[in-house]
Amino acid sequence: MNIVLARSAGFCFGVKRAVNMAFAAAEQAGPICSLGPLIHSPQLVERLQGEGVRVVASVAEMTGDETVIIRSHGIRREEEQQLRQRQLPLVDATCPFVKKAQEYAGLLGEQGYTVVIVGEQEHPEVQGIVSYACSDSVYVVADVAGARQVPSGLRLGLVAQTTQAYENFRAIAMELLGRCKELRVFNTICDATAVRQNEASELAASVDRMLVIGGHNSANTNRLARICSDIQPRTFHIETASEIDPAWLVGAASVGITAGASTPEWIIREVVEKLQQLTK
Ligand code: F3S
């Protein structure tokens, strides 16, 4: 059986950077905590816990003698202020692309624009960007219908959650353009998501089975699995090699594998090895 692994499978630049920073800090800086799980991979979070990186839900839960690692999604401005007030040592692993989105939102807010963020309201990255906009007048819109709720005649500044699809961002920009006094746009989309999704769609179209590896709690892995199963109905979303059911492979001449941006390399390797054993 032919096993094809997507070239882009696994960690994106920002996640790889955050994980490396966390392991390095755990080795050098003594006790560490992260505000929320560092990435959406329960296996990696567990490994980090073994190295002394504990997960806390709020600044109030921090003991005061720990170094704090900020995850790649970033945190809210108020949380950053609380950390600085408590003078806790910080390792800032916010992805530079997320940082850019936060900075542009801040700049637009300062210059008096009503800030519009294209993204998912509940996502921690978006909540962070909202907080950096430092303005009472911020809208989070998920789609064109949402953009129609933004009042007309305003000076608008537009940014995006980094993982948004470019087409959605463009359609929202066009909708807003027709109804505002001024529109300033910063395209803060990072192409790591699109690269993974395009490659996964092409692979799903050329194989008999598709495996998508990543946390069941990872939005980007769930999206990859949905994209693949629309093309190849025999797509299976797994978190680890132990979830592979050999029955899935019966009659398959080829299996494609991709993985979300927060899936560690060792988990991908274990899946490939398990498939190789099963198809010997
Ligand atoms: Fe950063 Fe893009 Fe990954 S914003 S965390 S490199 S998906």
pLDDT for the residue numbered 220: 85
The answer to whether 268 and 14 have CB atoms below 8 angstroms apart is no
pLDDT for the residue numbered 280: 76
Using alpha carbons, select from 73, 77, 122, 107 the residue that is nearest to residue 186. Answer: 107
pLDDT for the residue numbered 121: 94
Query: Which contiguous run of DSSP H or E holds residue 157?
Result: strand 155-160
Atom index in ligand 1 nearest the CA of residue 15 equals 5
Whether 97 is in the pocket of ligand 1, judged by its Cβ within 6 Å, is yes
Whether 72 is in the pocket of ligand 1, judged by its Cβ within 6 Å, is yes
pLDDT for the residue numbered 29: 81
pLDDT for the residue numbered 9: 96
The answer to whether 262 and 238 have CB atoms below 8 angstroms apart is no
The answer to whether 258 and 212 have CB atoms below 8 angstroms apart is yes
CA of 109 to the centre of ligand 1 (A): 23
SS3 of residue 107 by DSSP: helix
Tens-digit pLDDT string for the chain (280 aa): 999 999 999 999 999 999 999 999 999 988 999 998 998 889 999 999 999 999 999 999 998 889 999 999 999 999 999 999 999 899 999 999 999 999 999 999 999 999 999 999 999 999 999 999 988 889 999 999 999 999 999 999 999 999 998 999 999 999 999 999 999 999 999 999 999 999 999 999 999 999 999 999 888 899 899 999 999 999 999 999 999 999 999 999 999 999 999 999 999 999 999 999 998 7
